[in-house]
Amino acid sequence: MLLTEFNNTRATFYFAKPKDLNLPKGTLENKFLKQKKDFSIQLHSDVLQKEVLLFSKVKGHFPDNFFNLMSGETKVIIYTSDEET
Residue 85 has pLDDT above 60, yes or no: no
Q: Half-sphere exposure (CA, 13 Å, Cβ side) for 1?
A: 14
**Residue 83 scores a pLDDT above 80:** no
Q: Is 71 exposed, middle or buried (0-12, 13-18, 19+ CB in 10 A)?
A: exposed
Neighbours of 49 (CB within 10 A): 20
Confidence at 84, pLDDT banded by 50, 70, 90: low
pTM of the full predicted structure? 0.81
Report the range of poorest mean pLDDT among 1-5, 8-12, 26-30.
Answer: 8-12
DSSP string, 25-67: P---EEEEEE-SSEEEEEEE-SS-EEEE----SS-EE-SS-SE
pLDDT at position 10 is: 85
Check whether 8 has a pLDDT greater than 90.
Answer: no
Which domains does the chain carry?
Answer: 23-81 (2.60.40.10)
- Under DSSP, the state recorded for 19 is G
